[in-house]
Amino acid sequence: MPNSRKHDISFHASGKIDISAHIARKLSLAPGDVIDIVQGCGEMYLYVKLRSGNYAGRHDGRVWATANGKGTFRTCSKALATAMLVAAGVNDRLRCPCGMEIERDNTKYITIIYRCSL
């Protein structure tokens, strides 16, 4: 039976990370926000580490809106992408669905289902 579920986030060996509009809305992403991934209880979680305008300097994982106008975002972070590829045991590209949204200490976290690449 073919898998018809669409991926929500994709990680590339080059460091490129694409985030779907669905996940961007859940996290209330805006251009300039900085994302990060945290591991806990055997799961990986995506969250907004810093909001646009609340930091100075250059940060790894700063997102920008893609030019397609569909609400998708992109970032380039070799460290984040490599960590996810290694965790999943994949070499070049990892396309993942995302799971539940969890809120802790006024921060939204979204589960990355990285063990079943689409």
- Confirm whether pTM is higher than 0.75: yes
Q: Which tens digits make up the pLDDT trace of 7-29?
A: 899 999 999 999 999 999 999 99
Query: Where do the structural domains in the chain lie, given as residue ranges?
Result: 9-112
Contacts 24+ apart (CB under 8 A), 44-48: 44/84, 44/87, 44/111, 44/112, 44/114, 45/102, 45/109, 45/110, 45/111, 45/112, 46/9, 46/98, 46/109, 46/110, 46/112, 47/107, 47/108, 47/109, 47/110, 48/107, 48/108
Q: Which tens digits make up the pLDDT trace of 84-107?
A: 999 999 999 999 999 999 999 999
